[in-house]
Amino acid sequence: MKRIGLFLLVATSSVLLVACGNNKKVSNSGSDKTELTGNDSNNSYQSLIKDGNYQVSKSSGVNQNQTNNTFNLQGFQQDLQNISKKQFSPSKYVFQEGQYISTDKAYDWLGRKSSSNPDGLNPNQPEKKVVPEYLQQIEEQDYLQPESGTNKLKGMTIGIGLNSVYYYTKEKYGAQYSKKLNDEDIEKNGKEIADKILARMRKDKATKNIPIVIALYKAAPDDSLVGGNLFAYSVNNSGDSSVKSWSKIDQKTYVLPTSGDEKIPNGNDETAFTQFKDKTQNYFPTLSGITAKAKYTNGQLSGMTISVTTQFFSYTEINSFTQYLQSAAQKYLPTGAPVEIQVGSTSGMQSYLYRGKNDKKFNVHVFTNY
Amino acid sequence: MKRIGLFLLVATSSVLLVACGNNKKVSNSGSDKTELTGNDSNNSYQSLIKDGNYQVSKSSGVNQNQTNNTFNLQGFQQDLQNISKKQFSPSKYVFQEGQYISTDKAYDWLGRKSSSNPDGLNPNQPEKKVVPEYLQQIEEQDYLQPESGTNKLKGMTIGIGLNSVYYYTKEKYGAQYSKKLNDEDIEKNGKEIADKILARMRKDKATKNIPIVIALYKAAPDDSLVGGNLFAYSVNNSGDSSVKSWSKIDQKTYVLPTSGDEKIPNGNDETAFTQFKDKTQNYFPTLSGITAKAKYTNGQLSGMTISVTTQFFSYTEINSFTQYLQSAAQKYLPTGAPVEIQVGSTSGMQSYLYRGKNDKKFNVHVFTNY
């Protein structure tokens, strides 16, 4: 089911931009005037600027129509880039938004297979039967290297986003129903789709002989407070037209404090967060709330983002509070994973604190207002 | 005129907190269990935590009722603290929210003088005549030093916020009228009010023999996109009960791009900003807007905050864009003053960049979403 709503405007403008751009030049990755965005040296990619424009994705906007949960979109892209870094090191490769799967192609592939859409990667829909769509999103990321004075496509990562819940209506504009999909079926369908996509990419001259990483992502339900998670990936060498082997990824994001019987992989992290939360709320009783998202990879904490909602409007209060948070975070919160704390009121972000994976101390900033 | 609206809830809860607190202990700054918030070492004050609670201002919330322009409030407090740093060095003094001007006192002082309110610092209101109120806000900041095992009040800064426009109604709930006040009158009234407040503070034993810094602030009109500015301050030695001399402060904040005939003190800064803006919008045509606030002190740029509104939702786009901004900012924007760039969409802040006054490079952070 395609979702067309809030994001349509964005999608349209991006697509238009591509349409007004120079398709031919883009697809031959040839002799245009290219520049790079520059690198912030935090192990992130430089990106390509071509003919004075940032190259938006050829299918930009498509994915925004495919999910109602924005965490799915951003988390997916971020996780994919992290996977890519293992294969295509940011020190050697330059990033480019996907230029080889066009908007039309993406919509065809994401659709159901039918006589009018033979390329659809979702199953045919017989009358009066609920046949779930597994494929939700396709995300392409290009990795380039300089060669004879230009940047050439040397690697690609394709993310396949899969529904964990299938949403459908029994009639046009009718009530929405949902069907939870089971993990085995999600994995089976994801791997089949991966093979088909890989085979198709190999038919294109530009992508025939490059390594292509494919990763499978289980999207979160629309009402989830966190995004979904990658669960498998494969590195496919030049020319391989079906996936030879899959590597498992064990990754999940939790909301803290946990509710009900939910248990996070490392109970100590929740205790640490609770101490931080209680101590802070005790000292600053006018806080509205402190919640966190904790991401685990292979049972280890791989990231924590904390959101603190204040009722402060005073500069001095925000300032003092941020200082307090810094020492409390340093004292209580787990180390060895990036920790990000966003402090804000209803009128926006007031301050933020960040400690990278290998940093000793938090980097702190109180936003200015004058 | 007192404004009671949006912020009343906040004001009330803060006041309640004080009321439930331990007034006696607070006002004798005596032998309680005190802690400090810890210091982020960026030349900012540590703050006092007393009996396990952050000490909110005794008149917290009062100022929030006095202005409809939140920039006035935060800018005022931040500027005051900058003035205080000259007199009470953060390495030697600890900050405490004002504890000596209570909510009741503040409301009495901010009110008009009358038989029922002899302490009112705004003029009496005769029938059928428009007599402007000059006094809009009073902000107290306390500076403490350790002495015999406790932190004792050793200095104070009082900010006097003055209306630049007087807003009034001719009848209750009637239409709002406004009267622009002229700078000479604002200054004259501000200085008279300063003398009265100083004399009153000297009658209290706790504040009789400490240095008291008084600063005058001209608040911006309610519809201004920037806050007001400090225009004079005085350092009053222990015991002085009237201001002996005033120092001028030449400070103003401008919105960029400037509109109409407005000229900023240093035209090069506007050229630099325009180059940064044009170049960025050229490369990323889907941006919604780039605006800035530039603050000048004695004709020199003393701070710039830039707000960039995007239509991006994609992690990779935000990431690439932020990298681009970093190199463009480094290339075009003026040095020698702190520069803060906030990047956000309608759904909140997406990334931010900051270069401190003496920093060589921008500190960059893309916010996480998973």
B107-116, B176-185, B342-351, range with the lowest pLDDT: B342-351
Q: Chain B 160-219, CB below 8 Å of chain A: which residues?
A: none
Report the gap between the CA of A176 and the closest CA in chain B (Å). 26
On the question of pLDDT at B121 being above 50, the answer is: yes
Q: Helices B267-283 and B315-332: crossing angle, nearest 10°?
A: 150
Residues, chain A, total?
Answer: 370
> Could you tell me if the ipTM is greater than 0.85?
no
How distant is the alpha carbon of residue A78 from its chain centre? 4
On average, the pLDDT of chain A sits at 85
d(CA A122, CA A197): 12
pLDDT tens track for B175-234: 999 999 999 999 999 999 999 999 999 999 999 999 999 999 999 998 888 999 999 999
Q: What is the pLDDT of residue A191?
A: 98
Cis bond before residue A132 (omega within 30° of 0) = no
Residues of A in contact with B49 (CB under 8 A): 283, 324
B93 — contact with chain A (CB < 8 Å)? no
Report the gap between the CA of B341 and the closest CA in chain A (Å). 10
pLDDT-based confidence at B67, cuts 50/70/90?
confident
Element (H, E) at B295: strand B289-297
Q: Is B365's CB within 8 Å of A354's CB?
A: yes
DSSP assignment of B151-182 equals EEEEEEEEEEEE-SEEEEESSTT--EEEEEPP
Residue ranges, comma separated, of all CATH 3.10.570.10 domains in chain A are 8-249
Q: Which of B47, B286, B347 lies at the smallest CB-CB distance from A323?
A: B47
pLDDT over 70 percentage in chain A: 89
Report the gap between the CA of A107 and the closest CA in chain B (Å). 18
Alpha carbon distances (Å) from A2 to A7, A60, B313: 12, 15, 18
Q: Which residue of A has its CA nearest to B70?
A: A313
Q: If you count residue pairs, one on A and one on B, with CB atoms under 8 Å apart, how many are there?
A: 226
d(CA A85, CA A158): 13
Q: Is B316's CB within 8 Å of A97's CB?
A: yes
Report the gap between the CA of B206 and the closest CA in chain A (Å). 22
- CATH code 3.60.15.10 for A8-249: no
What are the contacts of B182-187 at 24+ separation with CB within 8 A?
Answer: B183/B218, B185/B134, B186/B134, B186/B162, B186/B218, B187/B216, B187/B231, B187/B232
* Span between the terminal Cα atoms of chain A, in Å: 47
On the question of pLDDT at A161 being above 70, the answer is: yes
A99 — contact with chain B (CB < 8 Å)? no
On the question of pLDDT at B124 being above 70, the answer is: yes
A240 — contact with chain B (CB < 8 Å)? no
B214, B213, B193, B167: which is closest to B67 by C-alpha?
B167
Alpha carbon distances (Å) from A280 to A324, B50, B236: 8, 14, 37
A283, A318, A358, A316: which is closest to A43 by C-alpha?
A358
pLDDT-based confidence at B18, cuts 50/70/90?
very low
Q: Decide: residue A261, CB within 10 A, 0-12 exposed, 13-18 middle, 19+ buried.
A: exposed
Q: Is A47's CB within 8 Å of B324's CB?
A: yes
B53-54: strand order across its sheet:
B34-36, B48-50, B53-54
B293 — contact with chain A (CB < 8 Å)? yes
Residue with tokens 């919160």: A333
Residues of B in contact with A338 (CB under 8 A): 368
Q: What is the pLDDT of residue B262?
A: 86
Q: Which two tokens stand for residue A37?
A: 């965005």
Other CB atoms within 10 Å distance of the CB of residue A199: 13
A42 — contact with chain B (CB < 8 Å)? yes
* Span between the terminal Cα atoms of chain B, in Å: 47
Amino acid, res. B225: L
Q: Is B54's CB within 8 Å of A367's CB?
A: no
Instruction: Please list, residue by residue across B157-189, b when 16 or more beta carbons sit within 10 angstroms of its beta carbon and e when fewer do.
Output: bbbbbbbbebbeeeeeeeeeeeeebeeeebbeb
Q: What is the pLDDT of residue B42?
A: 64
Report the gap between the CA of A185 and the closest CA in chain B (Å). 24
On the question of pLDDT at B285 being above 80, the answer is: no
The answer for residues whose C-beta is within 8 angstroms of residue A6's C-beta and 6 or more apart is: none
pLDDT tens track for A326-369: 999 999 999 999 999 999 988 889 999 999 999 999 999 999 87
Q: Is B316's CB within 8 Å of A349's CB?
A: no
Among left, alpha and beta (phi > 0; psi -120 to 50; other), residue B24 is alpha
pLDDT tens track for A269-309: 999 999 999 999 988 877 879 999 999 999 999 999 999 99
Q: What is the pLDDT of residue A4?
A: 33
pLDDT tens track for A104-155: 999 999 999 999 999 999 999 888 888 999 999 999 999 999 888 889 999 9
pLDDT-based confidence at B39, cuts 50/70/90?
low
Q: Which residue of B has its CA nearest to A346?
A: B348
B108 — contact with chain A (CB < 8 Å)? no
On the question of pLDDT at B20 being above 50, the answer is: no
Mean predicted confidence (pLDDT) in B158-173:
92
Mean predicted confidence (pLDDT) in B114-137:
92
d(CA A77, CA A61): 13
Q: Which two tokens stand for residue B106?
A: 């503040």
d(CA A104, CA A120): 12
Mean predicted confidence (pLDDT) in B3-17:
29
Q: Is A89 within 8 Å of A83 (Cβ atoms)? A: no
d(CA B246, CA B197): 15
Cis bond before residue A211 (omega within 30° of 0) = no
Q: Which two tokens stand for residue B320?
A: 């690439």
Q: Is B142 within 8 Å of B26 (Cβ atoms)? A: no
A115 — contact with chain B (CB < 8 Å)? no
d(CA B83, CA A50): 48
Residues of A in contact with B45 (CB under 8 A): 319-320
A74 — contact with chain B (CB < 8 Å)? yes
Report the gap between the CA of A131 and the closest CA in chain B (Å). 29
Report the gap between the CA of B267 and the closest CA in chain A (Å). 20
B311 — contact with chain A (CB < 8 Å)? yes
Q: Which two tokens stand for residue A67?
A: 């999910």
Q: Is B370's CB within 8 Å of A315's CB?
A: no
Architecture of domain A254-366: 2-Layer Sandwich (3.30)
Q: What is the pLDDT of residue A348?
A: 87
B75 — contact with chain A (CB < 8 Å)? yes
Q: Is B57's CB within 8 Å of A314's CB?
A: yes
Q: Which of B38, B311, B313 lies at the smallest CB-CB distance from A73?
A: B313
A83, A308, A42: which is closest to B353 by C-alpha?
A42
pLDDT tens track for B228-279: 999 999 999 998 999 999 999 999 999 999 988 889 999 999 999 999 999 9
pLDDT tens track for B298-322: 999 999 999 999 987 788 889 889 9
Q: What is the pLDDT of residue B109?
A: 96
B12 — contact with chain A (CB < 8 Å)? no
Q: Is B369's CB within 8 Å of A70's CB?
A: yes
Q: Greater confidence, A38 or A190?
A: A190
pLDDT-based confidence at A38, cuts 50/70/90?
low
Ranges of H-type helices in A8-114: 8-20, 23-27, 62-66, 70-87, 103-110
Residue ranges, comma separated, of all CATH 3.30.300.190 domains in chain A are 254-366
d(CA A369, CA B226): 8
Q: Is B86 within 8 Å of B145 (Cβ atoms)? A: no
Q: Which two tokens stand for residue B80?
A: 């005051």
Q: Is A138 within 8 Å of A110 (Cβ atoms)? A: yes
Q: Name the DSSP class of A211.
A: -
Q: Which of A17, A64, A284 lies at the smallest CB-CB distance from B285?
A: A17
The answer for residues whose C-beta is within 8 angstroms of residue B333's C-beta and 6 or more apart is: B272, B273, B276, B304, B306, B339
* Residue among A140, A320, A321, A362 with most chain B CBs within 10 A, to mutate: A320
Report the gap between the CA of B175 and the closest CA in chain A (Å). 28
Mean predicted confidence (pLDDT) in A95-104:
93
Beta bridge partners of B369: none
Residues of A in contact with B16 (CB under 8 A): none
Residues of B in contact with A368 (CB under 8 A): 78, 303, 305, 338, 340
Alpha carbon distances (Å) from A288 to A203, A282, A291, A337, A343: 56, 12, 10, 26, 11
Q: Which of B95, B293, B364 lies at the smallest CB-CB distance from A370?
A: B293
Q: Chain A 343-362, CB below 8 Å of chain B: which residues?
A: 347-349, 352, 354
On the question of pLDDT at A12 being above 60, the answer is: no
pLDDT-based confidence at B25, cuts 50/70/90?
very low
Q: What is the pLDDT of residue B41?
A: 54
A83-92, A101-110, B51-60, range with the lowest pLDDT: B51-60
Residues of A in contact with B79 (CB under 8 A): 370
pLDDT-based confidence at B38, cuts 50/70/90?
low
